[in-house]
Amino acid sequence: MLIKTLLNKVENFKSFVYKAVHLEVIDGVEALVVDVQPRTNAKPECSICGNRFGSYGTQSARLYEYVPFWGFQVFFRYSPRRVSCPVDGVHVERVPWAEGKEHMTTTYKVFLARWAKRLTWKETAEIFRSSWDSVYRAVQFVVAYGLANRDLENIKEIGIDEIQVWSGHKYLTLVYQLDSNAKRLLWSGAKRKVKTLQTFFKELGKERCLRIKFVCSDMWAPYLKVISSSAPNALNILDRFHIMKKFNEAIDQIRREEVKKLKDEGADNVLVKSRWVLLKRPENLTEKQTVRLSQIVKINLSSIKAYLMREDFQRFWEYKYPACADKFLENWITRTLKTNLVPMKKVAKMLRNHKPLILNWFKADGRLSSGTVEGFNLKAKLTIRKAYGYKSLTCLQTALYYTLGNLPEPKLTHRFCG
Protein backbone atom coordinates (compact mmCIF):
# COMPACT_ATOMS: atom_id res chain seq x y z
CA MET A 1 0.00 0.00 0.00
CA LEU A 2 2.70 2.44 1.01
CA ILE A 3 4.53 1.83 -2.28
CA LYS A 4 1.46 2.93 -4.21
CA THR A 5 1.18 6.06 -2.08
CA LEU A 6 4.81 6.88 -2.81
CA LEU A 7 4.38 6.18 -6.52
CA ASN A 8 1.38 8.49 -6.71
CA LYS A 9 3.53 11.14 -5.10
CA VAL A 10 6.43 10.85 -7.54
CA GLU A 11 4.56 9.95 -10.70
CA ASN A 12 0.84 10.51 -11.07
CA PHE A 13 -0.94 9.74 -14.34
CA LYS A 14 -4.34 11.31 -14.88
CA SER A 15 -5.88 8.45 -16.86
CA PHE A 16 -4.20 5.49 -15.15
CA VAL A 17 -4.10 3.97 -11.67
CA TYR A 18 -1.62 1.79 -9.82
CA LYS A 19 -3.06 -1.54 -8.74
CA ALA A 20 -1.39 -4.46 -7.02
CA VAL A 21 2.35 -4.46 -6.22
CA HIS A 22 4.11 -7.86 -6.16
CA LEU A 23 7.57 -9.25 -5.72
CA GLU A 24 8.17 -11.42 -8.79
CA VAL A 25 11.12 -13.09 -10.40
CA ILE A 26 12.00 -11.25 -13.60
CA ASP A 27 14.96 -12.57 -15.62
CA GLY A 28 16.04 -14.68 -12.66
CA VAL A 29 16.04 -11.81 -10.16
CA GLU A 30 13.36 -10.76 -7.67
CA ALA A 31 11.81 -7.47 -8.74
CA LEU A 32 8.96 -5.21 -7.75
CA VAL A 33 6.13 -5.36 -10.28
CA VAL A 34 3.42 -2.68 -10.19
CA ASP A 35 0.26 -3.42 -12.13
CA VAL A 36 -1.11 -0.40 -13.98
CA GLN A 37 -4.67 -0.09 -15.28
CA PRO A 38 -6.65 2.57 -17.10
CA ARG A 39 -8.86 4.68 -14.86
CA THR A 40 -12.53 3.76 -15.25
CA ASN A 41 -14.01 5.46 -18.33
CA ALA A 42 -10.64 6.84 -19.45
CA LYS A 43 -10.34 6.23 -23.17
CA PRO A 44 -7.04 5.35 -24.83
CA GLU A 45 -5.05 8.03 -26.69
CA CYS A 46 -4.24 7.66 -30.40
CA SER A 47 -0.45 7.52 -30.66
CA ILE A 48 -0.54 9.57 -33.87
CA CYS A 49 -2.99 12.44 -33.37
CA GLY A 50 -3.25 12.38 -29.58
CA ASN A 51 -7.06 12.32 -29.54
CA ARG A 52 -8.99 9.80 -27.44
CA PHE A 53 -11.28 7.19 -28.96
CA GLY A 54 -12.85 3.88 -28.06
CA SER A 55 -10.71 0.88 -27.25
CA TYR A 56 -10.32 -1.89 -29.78
CA GLY A 57 -9.08 -4.74 -27.62
CA THR A 58 -5.84 -5.00 -25.64
CA GLN A 59 -2.41 -6.46 -26.27
CA SER A 60 -0.63 -8.82 -23.92
CA ALA A 61 0.97 -7.32 -20.83
CA ARG A 62 4.30 -5.49 -21.18
CA LEU A 63 6.90 -4.61 -18.60
CA TYR A 64 8.29 -1.08 -18.43
CA GLU A 65 11.32 -0.59 -16.23
CA TYR A 66 11.09 2.18 -13.64
CA VAL A 67 13.55 3.72 -11.15
CA PRO A 68 14.88 0.99 -8.78
CA PHE A 69 13.82 0.96 -5.18
CA TRP A 70 15.85 -0.43 -2.21
CA GLY A 71 17.99 -2.43 -4.59
CA PHE A 72 15.00 -3.99 -6.35
CA GLN A 73 14.35 -3.41 -10.01
CA VAL A 74 10.89 -1.90 -10.48
CA PHE A 75 8.58 -2.60 -13.42
CA PHE A 76 5.20 -1.25 -14.45
CA ARG A 77 3.08 -4.01 -15.95
CA TYR A 78 0.45 -2.84 -18.38
CA SER A 79 -1.55 -4.28 -21.27
CA PRO A 80 -1.71 -1.54 -23.91
CA ARG A 81 -5.04 -1.05 -25.63
CA ARG A 82 -5.57 -0.65 -29.31
CA VAL A 83 -7.27 2.60 -30.32
CA SER A 84 -9.61 2.85 -33.23
CA CYS A 85 -8.96 6.35 -34.59
CA PRO A 86 -11.23 7.49 -37.44
CA VAL A 87 -8.32 9.36 -39.04
CA ASP A 88 -5.25 7.21 -38.33
CA GLY A 89 -6.83 3.75 -38.15
CA VAL A 90 -6.17 1.14 -35.48
CA HIS A 91 -2.98 1.68 -33.43
CA VAL A 92 -1.53 0.81 -30.07
CA GLU A 93 -2.33 3.58 -27.59
CA ARG A 94 0.19 6.15 -26.36
CA VAL A 95 1.06 5.76 -22.69
CA PRO A 96 2.42 8.70 -20.68
CA TRP A 97 5.30 6.79 -19.02
CA ALA A 98 7.13 5.45 -22.07
CA GLU A 99 7.62 6.10 -25.75
CA GLY A 100 6.63 3.70 -28.52
CA LYS A 101 7.93 0.20 -27.95
CA GLU A 102 10.52 1.30 -25.41
CA HIS A 103 10.75 -1.01 -22.40
CA MET A 104 12.29 1.66 -20.19
CA THR A 105 10.05 4.35 -18.73
CA THR A 106 11.00 7.92 -19.62
CA THR A 107 11.63 8.68 -15.95
CA TYR A 108 14.05 5.77 -15.71
CA LYS A 109 15.90 6.96 -18.82
CA VAL A 110 16.38 10.43 -17.38
CA PHE A 111 17.48 8.83 -14.10
CA LEU A 112 20.07 6.61 -15.83
CA ALA A 113 21.30 9.46 -18.01
CA ARG A 114 21.88 11.64 -14.96
CA TRP A 115 24.07 9.01 -13.38
CA ALA A 116 25.85 8.51 -16.70
CA LYS A 117 26.97 12.13 -16.48
CA ARG A 118 28.82 11.44 -13.23
CA LEU A 119 29.99 7.88 -13.81
CA THR A 120 31.11 6.09 -16.93
CA TRP A 121 28.32 4.44 -18.91
CA LYS A 122 29.75 1.06 -17.99
CA GLU A 123 29.67 1.83 -14.27
CA THR A 124 26.13 3.17 -14.55
CA ALA A 125 25.02 -0.04 -16.26
CA GLU A 126 26.68 -2.17 -13.58
CA ILE A 127 25.27 -0.28 -10.62
CA PHE A 128 21.70 -0.38 -11.87
CA ARG A 129 21.86 -3.92 -13.31
CA SER A 130 21.26 -2.45 -16.71
CA SER A 131 23.22 -2.88 -19.93
CA TRP A 132 25.61 -0.52 -21.69
CA ASP A 133 23.14 -0.30 -24.57
CA SER A 134 20.31 0.72 -22.27
CA VAL A 135 22.44 3.47 -20.75
CA TYR A 136 23.35 4.64 -24.26
CA ARG A 137 19.66 4.68 -25.24
CA ALA A 138 18.87 6.67 -22.11
CA VAL A 139 21.55 9.27 -22.90
CA GLN A 140 20.43 9.36 -26.54
CA PHE A 141 16.89 10.10 -25.44
CA VAL A 142 17.92 12.93 -23.14
CA VAL A 143 20.25 14.40 -25.80
CA ALA A 144 17.55 14.24 -28.49
CA TYR A 145 15.16 16.01 -26.14
CA GLY A 146 17.78 18.63 -25.31
CA LEU A 147 18.67 19.31 -28.95
CA ALA A 148 15.00 19.69 -29.86
CA ASN A 149 14.24 22.00 -26.95
CA ARG A 150 17.33 24.21 -26.67
CA ASP A 151 17.32 27.90 -27.45
CA LEU A 152 19.38 28.83 -30.51
CA GLU A 153 18.50 32.50 -30.62
CA ASN A 154 21.00 35.24 -29.79
CA ILE A 155 24.14 33.36 -30.74
CA LYS A 156 26.70 36.10 -31.24
CA GLU A 157 30.06 34.43 -30.70
CA ILE A 158 31.16 31.04 -31.91
CA GLY A 159 34.40 29.08 -32.02
CA ILE A 160 35.26 26.36 -34.50
CA ASP A 161 37.66 23.59 -33.64
CA GLU A 162 38.46 20.15 -34.90
CA ILE A 163 39.70 17.17 -32.97
CA GLN A 164 41.13 13.88 -33.98
CA VAL A 165 39.06 10.91 -32.92
CA TRP A 166 40.45 7.44 -32.41
CA SER A 167 43.53 6.65 -34.41
CA GLY A 168 44.04 7.41 -38.06
CA HIS A 169 42.92 10.63 -39.58
CA LYS A 170 39.35 10.74 -38.46
CA TYR A 171 38.25 14.20 -37.46
CA LEU A 172 35.22 15.73 -35.84
CA THR A 173 34.45 19.38 -36.42
CA LEU A 174 33.10 21.02 -33.29
CA VAL A 175 31.31 24.36 -33.09
CA TYR A 176 31.02 26.07 -29.71
CA GLN A 177 28.96 29.01 -28.60
CA LEU A 178 31.28 31.37 -26.74
CA ASP A 179 28.88 34.10 -25.54
CA SER A 180 29.62 34.88 -21.89
CA ASN A 181 26.12 33.86 -20.79
CA ALA A 182 25.96 30.66 -22.86
CA LYS A 183 29.10 28.68 -23.41
CA ARG A 184 28.37 25.26 -24.85
CA LEU A 185 28.95 22.81 -27.64
CA LEU A 186 26.53 23.81 -30.38
CA TRP A 187 27.22 21.32 -33.10
CA SER A 188 29.45 18.49 -34.19
CA GLY A 189 29.97 16.96 -37.60
CA ALA A 190 32.08 14.17 -39.03
CA LYS A 191 35.33 15.10 -40.84
CA ARG A 192 36.71 18.57 -41.38
CA LYS A 193 35.71 19.56 -44.83
CA VAL A 194 34.12 22.56 -46.47
CA LYS A 195 30.88 20.61 -46.55
CA THR A 196 31.05 19.79 -42.84
CA LEU A 197 31.07 23.43 -41.82
CA GLN A 198 28.53 24.38 -44.48
CA THR A 199 26.14 21.86 -42.94
CA PHE A 200 26.43 23.59 -39.57
CA PHE A 201 25.58 27.02 -40.98
CA LYS A 202 22.77 25.55 -43.04
CA GLU A 203 21.23 23.86 -40.02
CA LEU A 204 21.55 27.03 -37.95
CA GLY A 205 19.59 28.95 -40.57
CA LYS A 206 20.34 32.10 -42.49
CA GLU A 207 18.72 34.55 -40.07
CA ARG A 208 20.70 33.27 -37.12
CA CYS A 209 23.93 33.22 -39.15
CA LEU A 210 23.49 36.91 -39.96
CA ARG A 211 23.39 37.68 -36.24
CA ILE A 212 26.79 36.11 -35.51
CA LYS A 213 29.31 38.81 -34.61
CA PHE A 214 32.53 36.90 -33.86
CA VAL A 215 33.91 33.63 -35.15
CA CYS A 216 37.08 32.15 -33.66
CA SER A 217 38.79 29.63 -35.85
CA ASP A 218 41.86 27.87 -37.04
CA MET A 219 43.68 29.33 -40.06
CA TRP A 220 42.55 26.50 -42.26
CA ALA A 221 41.76 28.03 -45.66
CA PRO A 222 38.58 26.09 -46.60
CA TYR A 223 37.01 27.00 -43.25
CA LEU A 224 37.93 30.66 -43.56
CA LYS A 225 36.12 30.77 -46.89
CA VAL A 226 32.97 29.12 -45.56
CA ILE A 227 32.93 31.47 -42.55
CA SER A 228 33.18 34.63 -44.64
CA SER A 229 30.38 33.53 -46.95
CA SER A 230 28.04 31.99 -44.34
CA ALA A 231 28.45 34.50 -41.53
CA PRO A 232 29.05 37.72 -43.49
CA ASN A 233 28.51 40.02 -40.49
CA ALA A 234 31.03 38.26 -38.30
CA LEU A 235 34.56 39.27 -37.51
CA ASN A 236 36.69 36.19 -38.10
CA ILE A 237 39.41 35.90 -35.49
CA LEU A 238 42.31 33.54 -35.61
CA ASP A 239 42.52 32.96 -31.92
CA ARG A 240 45.40 32.52 -29.56
CA PHE A 241 44.73 28.87 -28.83
CA HIS A 242 44.80 27.82 -32.47
CA ILE A 243 47.86 29.91 -33.29
CA MET A 244 49.89 28.64 -30.37
CA LYS A 245 48.94 25.12 -31.42
CA LYS A 246 50.85 25.74 -34.68
CA PHE A 247 53.90 26.82 -32.68
CA ASN A 248 53.79 23.64 -30.65
CA GLU A 249 53.50 21.52 -33.76
CA ALA A 250 56.56 23.27 -35.21
CA ILE A 251 58.59 22.86 -32.00
CA ASP A 252 57.70 19.20 -31.83
CA GLN A 253 58.73 18.62 -35.42
CA ILE A 254 62.09 20.34 -34.85
CA ARG A 255 62.63 18.32 -31.67
CA ARG A 256 61.85 15.02 -33.39
CA GLU A 257 64.22 15.77 -36.26
CA GLU A 258 66.92 16.79 -33.81
CA VAL A 259 66.49 13.64 -31.71
CA LYS A 260 67.00 11.60 -34.86
CA LYS A 261 70.03 13.63 -35.90
CA LEU A 262 71.68 13.35 -32.48
CA LYS A 263 71.02 9.62 -32.45
CA ASP A 264 72.61 9.20 -35.89
CA GLU A 265 75.65 11.12 -34.70
CA GLY A 266 75.82 8.92 -31.61
CA ALA A 267 75.65 11.99 -29.39
CA ASP A 268 74.33 11.85 -25.86
CA ASN A 269 70.64 12.28 -26.34
CA VAL A 270 69.31 14.96 -24.03
CA LEU A 271 66.16 15.55 -26.01
CA VAL A 272 64.52 12.15 -25.85
CA LYS A 273 62.45 12.77 -22.78
CA SER A 274 61.99 16.47 -23.23
CA ARG A 275 58.80 16.67 -25.26
CA TRP A 276 56.63 18.09 -22.48
CA VAL A 277 59.42 20.26 -21.14
CA LEU A 278 59.42 22.07 -24.47
CA LEU A 279 55.68 22.16 -25.10
CA LYS A 280 54.66 23.48 -21.71
CA ARG A 281 54.80 27.14 -20.75
CA PRO A 282 57.64 27.76 -18.25
CA GLU A 283 55.22 28.61 -15.42
CA ASN A 284 53.55 25.22 -15.79
CA LEU A 285 56.71 23.14 -15.48
CA THR A 286 57.33 20.89 -12.49
CA GLU A 287 60.54 21.35 -10.52
CA LYS A 288 62.14 18.36 -12.21
CA GLN A 289 61.14 19.67 -15.63
CA THR A 290 62.61 23.09 -14.84
CA VAL A 291 65.97 21.49 -14.02
CA ARG A 292 65.77 19.52 -17.25
CA LEU A 293 65.00 22.68 -19.22
CA SER A 294 68.02 24.48 -17.75
CA GLN A 295 70.18 21.51 -18.77
CA ILE A 296 68.94 21.57 -22.36
CA VAL A 297 69.26 25.34 -22.64
CA LYS A 298 73.03 25.06 -22.05
CA ILE A 299 73.42 23.13 -25.28
CA ASN A 300 72.93 25.08 -28.46
CA LEU A 301 70.06 23.18 -30.03
CA SER A 302 67.49 24.11 -32.63
CA SER A 303 64.74 22.82 -30.34
CA ILE A 304 65.74 25.38 -27.75
CA LYS A 305 65.89 28.16 -30.29
CA ALA A 306 62.37 27.29 -31.41
CA TYR A 307 61.22 27.14 -27.81
CA LEU A 308 62.63 30.57 -27.04
CA MET A 309 61.07 31.99 -30.19
CA ARG A 310 57.67 30.81 -29.07
CA GLU A 311 58.16 32.30 -25.61
CA ASP A 312 59.21 35.55 -27.23
CA PHE A 313 56.07 35.51 -29.37
CA GLN A 314 53.82 35.24 -26.30
CA ARG A 315 54.35 38.98 -25.74
CA PHE A 316 52.23 39.55 -28.84
CA TRP A 317 49.03 38.76 -26.93
CA GLU A 318 49.69 41.42 -24.33
CA TYR A 319 49.41 44.36 -26.71
CA LYS A 320 46.42 46.65 -26.40
CA TYR A 321 46.57 48.43 -29.74
CA PRO A 322 46.45 46.58 -33.08
CA ALA A 323 49.09 48.93 -34.55
CA CYS A 324 51.67 48.05 -31.86
CA ALA A 325 50.83 44.36 -32.13
CA ASP A 326 51.24 44.59 -35.90
CA LYS A 327 54.70 46.14 -35.51
CA PHE A 328 55.79 43.43 -33.08
CA LEU A 329 54.41 40.70 -35.34
CA GLU A 330 56.26 42.04 -38.40
CA ASN A 331 59.47 42.26 -36.42
CA TRP A 332 59.11 38.71 -35.13
CA ILE A 333 58.38 37.37 -38.62
CA THR A 334 61.43 39.12 -40.12
CA ARG A 335 63.71 37.74 -37.40
CA THR A 336 62.32 34.24 -37.77
CA LEU A 337 62.65 34.18 -41.54
CA LYS A 338 66.39 34.83 -41.11
CA THR A 339 66.87 31.63 -39.09
CA ASN A 340 67.36 28.16 -40.51
CA LEU A 341 64.46 26.58 -38.63
CA VAL A 342 62.18 25.53 -41.47
CA PRO A 343 59.07 24.60 -39.42
CA MET A 344 59.32 27.93 -37.55
CA LYS A 345 59.72 29.80 -40.81
CA LYS A 346 56.57 28.11 -42.00
CA VAL A 347 54.72 29.43 -38.95
CA ALA A 348 56.09 32.90 -39.67
CA LYS A 349 54.86 32.80 -43.27
CA MET A 350 51.46 31.56 -42.14
CA LEU A 351 51.22 34.43 -39.66
CA ARG A 352 52.11 36.92 -42.38
CA ASN A 353 49.51 35.47 -44.76
CA HIS A 354 46.77 35.70 -42.16
CA LYS A 355 47.80 38.93 -40.48
CA PRO A 356 44.47 40.80 -40.78
CA LEU A 357 42.54 37.93 -39.20
CA ILE A 358 45.11 37.55 -36.44
CA LEU A 359 44.96 41.27 -35.67
CA ASN A 360 41.17 40.95 -35.39
CA TRP A 361 41.94 39.44 -31.98
CA PHE A 362 42.64 42.96 -30.74
CA LYS A 363 39.49 44.36 -32.32
CA ALA A 364 37.39 41.87 -30.37
CA ASP A 365 38.39 43.85 -27.28
CA GLY A 366 39.42 40.86 -25.25
CA ARG A 367 35.90 39.46 -25.47
CA LEU A 368 37.13 36.08 -26.54
CA SER A 369 39.45 34.54 -24.05
CA SER A 370 41.56 31.80 -25.54
CA GLY A 371 40.76 29.75 -22.45
CA THR A 372 37.25 28.91 -23.57
CA VAL A 373 38.04 27.06 -26.78
CA GLU A 374 41.04 25.47 -25.11
CA GLY A 375 38.93 24.34 -22.15
CA PHE A 376 36.31 22.82 -24.44
CA ASN A 377 39.03 21.16 -26.49
CA LEU A 378 40.45 19.51 -23.36
CA LYS A 379 37.03 18.35 -22.16
CA ALA A 380 36.20 16.97 -25.59
CA LYS A 381 39.50 15.06 -25.65
CA LEU A 382 38.78 13.69 -22.19
CA THR A 383 35.33 12.51 -23.30
CA ILE A 384 36.92 10.78 -26.27
CA ARG A 385 39.60 9.18 -24.12
CA LYS A 386 36.94 7.88 -21.72
CA ALA A 387 35.08 6.61 -24.74
CA TYR A 388 36.43 3.11 -24.87
CA GLY A 389 32.89 1.80 -24.99
CA TYR A 390 31.67 4.16 -27.68
CA LYS A 391 31.21 2.07 -30.74
CA SER A 392 30.39 4.61 -33.41
CA LEU A 393 30.92 8.21 -34.32
CA THR A 394 27.22 8.90 -33.64
CA CYS A 395 27.68 7.50 -30.17
CA LEU A 396 30.71 9.70 -29.56
CA GLN A 397 28.79 12.74 -30.78
CA THR A 398 25.96 11.90 -28.38
CA ALA A 399 28.47 11.71 -25.53
CA LEU A 400 29.99 15.06 -26.53
CA TYR A 401 26.61 16.80 -26.74
CA TYR A 402 25.74 15.33 -23.38
CA THR A 403 28.89 16.47 -21.57
CA LEU A 404 29.48 19.80 -23.35
CA GLY A 405 26.11 20.81 -24.80
CA ASN A 406 24.56 22.22 -21.61
CA LEU A 407 21.25 20.85 -22.90
CA PRO A 408 17.87 21.32 -21.23
CA GLU A 409 16.60 18.10 -19.63
CA PRO A 410 13.12 16.58 -19.76
CA LYS A 411 11.26 17.73 -16.68
CA LEU A 412 10.42 15.12 -14.04
CA THR A 413 7.88 15.67 -11.33
CA HIS A 414 10.18 14.16 -8.74
CA ARG A 415 13.89 14.63 -8.05
CA PHE A 416 15.35 11.12 -7.83
CA CYS A 417 19.01 12.11 -7.87
CA GLY A 418 21.42 14.93 -8.65
Q: What residues make contact with Zn ion under the rule CB under 5 A? A: 46, 48-49, 85, 87-88
| Closest to 236 in 3D by CA, of 218, 258, 261, 254 | 218
> Which is nearer to Zn ion, 87 or 148 (by Cβ)?
87
Whole-number Å distance between alpha carbons of 376 and 394 = 19
Least distance between Zn ion and beta carbon 64 (Å): 22
As a whole number of angstroms, the distance between CA 325 and CA 323 comes to 5
Report, in Å, the least distance between residue 140 CB and Zn ion: 27
159, 263, 352 from 233: Cα distances, Å: 15, 53, 24
Query: Whole-angstrom Cα distance, residue 106 to residue 104?
Result: 6
Q: Closer CB to Zn ion, residue 99 or residue 126? A: 99
What is the nearest approach in angstroms of Zn ion to the Cβ of residue 51? 6
Residue number, 45 or 239, with CB nearest to Zn ion: 45
Task: Please report how close the Cβ of residue 13 comes to Zn ion at its closest, in angstroms.
Answer: 20
Q: CB of 60: closest distance to Zn ion in angstroms?
A: 23
Q: How far is the CB of 62 from Zn ion (least distance, A)?
A: 21
b/e code 371-385 from CB counts within 10 Å (16+ = b): ebbbebbeebeebbe
The smaller minimum CB distance to Zn ion, of residues 85 and 172, is found at: 85
Nearer to Zn ion, 48 or 210 (CB): 48
157, 202, 167: which is closest to 364 by C-alpha?
Answer: 157
Residue 194: CB minimum distance to Zn ion, A: 44
> Rounded to the nearest whole angstrom, what is the least distance from the CB of residue 90 to Zn ion in the complex?
10
